[in-house]
Chains A and B, each alone.
Chain A
Amino acid sequence: MIECKNLCKIYKNGDIETQAVCGITFKIEKGEFVAIIGPSGSGKSTLMHILGALDTPTSGQYFLDGKEVSKLSDDELSDLRREKIGFVFQSFNLLPRTTVLRNVMLPLLYSDLTQKQREEKAKQALLYAGMDKDKFNNLSNQLSGGQMQRVAVARALVNDPAIILADEPTGNLDTKTSQVVMETFKELNSKGHTIILITHEKEIAEFTDRIISIRDGLIEKDEKQTHK
């Protein structure tokens, strides 16, 4: 489902070239629950941007569902993100002063669905992400951190994407709320969603089935986890 071959990303700043990641090769199958772990500056964020089709690699190949992503145009990348990938960001990135429902409906904008169908899908996703029904019409800035992350998860789910990519999804949450959010991901995984999690916290990575450790732009370890 996901296949990376010798991925490299080099940032140019004037004459200075910085290698963010280089020589990354791995495969992730459908239905897996993977954590990509590494200290800050290890290149894990760059890797997630490439996996999420937000950025293209400088060299190497990235196949998503058999499609070579690095060769797509800006609009094709947009279409790919809308159809196949759901994002959960560290800082939630909800539209301010906008209702919960509208935030979740954002990825459905300009689709062929009617307004009613969109609302229906958004409501389902919100319930699925564990959001209370009576909060659907609250404004996004009236929510607690945990509630905002549920909205962000619902938004990631609403298009029924092949992969859910979460970048430090618990970074802004306290331990208790983090646990709840991780349980949600686990449940989503058990229902068949492929989930890739980026984190620097070992305890968060422990929730997943497979941990890929990145250090200095290279894969250091790639090991399966068995849960007790």
Chain B
Amino acid sequence: MITDLIRETIWSLSSNKARSGLTILGIVIGIASVITMVAIGQGAQSSIEKNIEAIGSNLIVVMPGAQRVGGISQGAGSNQTLIIEDSDAIKSQIQSIKAVAPEASRRYQATARGNNTNTQVIGTVPDYLTVRNITMDIGSFFTDQQVTSSAKVAILGSTARDDLFGVNADPTGQSIRIKNVDFQVIGVTMAKGGAGFSNPDDAIFVPLNSAQHFLAGNVYLSDISIAAIDQPSMASVQQQISDLLLARHKITDPLQADFSIMNQNDIIATATSVTGTFTILLSSIAGISLLVGGIGIMNMMLTNVTERTREIGLRKAVGTRKIYINLQFLAEAVMLTFLGGLLGIVLGWLATIAVTKFVPSLTTQISTSSIFLAFGVSAVVGILFGFYPARRAANLNPIEALRYE
């Protein structure tokens, strides 16, 4: 019985290759487009998350500002309220922190051998490497000794190096000029990736004291970065820092604080909500293509079976029982949707690879749930609309089915 069923199904599908082929094509395109769409969305999401991770892990940033002048907030970062003593106090008095890096940064024009670039010059301390997860590519970072002595040394971010000395050049020993002060290059950091606005590689690092003395001309910090020892302790570390700085700045009402604290989790949460919106957008596109694909499959299946009403009538007239006719059409629908589904998964996978290959800035990530969703929906639609009209035809009187035009 089962071999009969399988043989009949294969014969039936292969005796009309164009019809079977078109039905499969509809399913393939429906499934492949859903998989590719979701893969691009998920890839974008995870690449944004990775960029945020690259900033540093378990990072807390204290920024000066949000000073109120006559009740009007001037916005974060607008004021100069943080000094090196605040940073030292955090380092010595707060538990559960791994490293503290005070920063005095600003954008300057930097020149070297006639090339120039406008870049972020970050004055900091060696702990910055730990806080921001930076590793060296060439040479070494400056030492605490060089910070204390206000040494005129600089470490280039890989993008800044590319701009000033050319791609992959070794600039150690050369000198660069920032605000009419010459700094000797002693190292280059390893590229971290990320692009545009907050490119961590487009920066020049100099000792904190050098930045304050030669460039900024004041003792204020632009921010203090703190790495907590682990994720769970972040909230308590943030609270401790807040209490400490309020006490040091002699402020009683936390709402009047002259600094603000950002926690990496907040940044991730913001970014996640952005990528979440992005995912919803892509899912709706995928959903629409699934719907369109589903309607296509439904249409093919319905025409396919309606066209064969006479065949169903004939099968019944020569004495095939209803159940076998139903089973055969069910088996045909299952075979078409599964074949189409498998080809669709392969095509979606290839399309995903092609997207990454031709648009390298787009990362992709195939999600198993999208495969199951696409496959499931098309299988249900295909089987339902392949089986239901066949069942109806098999229930007809064979004479009516045979007369069907």
Question: Residues of A at under 8 Å CB distance from B?
Answer: 49, 52, 54-55, 74-75, 78-83, 85, 87, 89, 93, 95-98, 102, 106-107, 109-110, 115, 155, 159
Contacts and interface: CB of A to CB of B under 8 A. Distances in A.
A109 B320 contact: yes
Contact of B321 (A78, A87, A102, A155): A78
Contact of A54 (B8, B315, B324, B399): B399
Nearest to A118: B4
Contact of B319 (A49, A55, A81): A81
B311 to A, nearest CB: 6
Contacts of A115: 7
Contact of B399 (A49, A85, A98): A49
B319 A79 contact: yes
Contacts of B320: 78, 82, 106-107, 109-110
Given A106-B320, A109-B324, 18 more contacts: A49-B399, A52-B317, A54-B398, A54-B399, A74-B322, A75-B321, A78-B321, A82-B320, A83-B319, A93-B314, A98-B11, A102-B11, A106-B314, A106-B318, A110-B4, A110-B321, A110-B324, A155-B318
B69 interface: no
Given A78-B321, A78-B322, A109 B4 contact: yes
Nearest to B402: A93
A78 B316 CA distance: 7
> Which 7 pairs between the two chains have the least Cβ-Cβ distance?
A82-B319, A81-B319, A107-B318, A97-B15, A78-B321, A93-B314, A54-B399
Interface of B: 1, 4, 7-8, 11, 15-16, 310-311, 314-324, 397-399, 402
B5 to A, nearest CB: 8
Contacts, number: 64
A95 B314 contact: yes
Interface of chain B: mostly helix, strand, loop or mixed: helix
Nearest to B17: A97
Contacts of A80: 319
Given A74-B322, A78-B322, A98-B11, A54 B317 contact: yes
A140 to B, nearest CB: 10
A42 to B, nearest CB: 17
22 contacts: A54-B317, A54-B398, A54-B399, A75-B321, A78-B316, A81-B318, A82-B318, A83-B319, A87-B318, A93-B314, A93-B317, A93-B402, A95-B311, A96-B15, A97-B15, A97-B16, A102-B11, A106-B315, A109-B4, A109-B8, A109-B320, A155-B318
B80 to A, nearest CB: 86
Contacts of B319: 78-83, 85, 107, 159
A81 B315 CA distance: 11
Contacts of B321: 75, 78-79, 110
Contacts of A155: 318
A209 to B, nearest CB: 26
Nearest to B4: A110
Q: Which of B1, B315, B321 has the largest number of chain A CB atoms within 10 A? A: B321
Nearest to B395: A74
Contacts of B318: 81-82, 87, 106-107, 155
A52 B317 CA distance: 9
A89 B323 CA distance: 24
A98 B15 contact: yes
Contact of A55 (B15, B16, B324, B399): B399
Contacts of B314: 93, 95, 106
A52 B316 CA distance: 12
A74 B396 CA distance: 10
Contacts of B397: 54-55
Contacts of B15: 95-98
B71 to A, nearest CB: 83
A110 B327 CA distance: 12
Contacts of A54: 317, 397-399
A85 B318 CA distance: 8
A181 B202 CA distance: 92
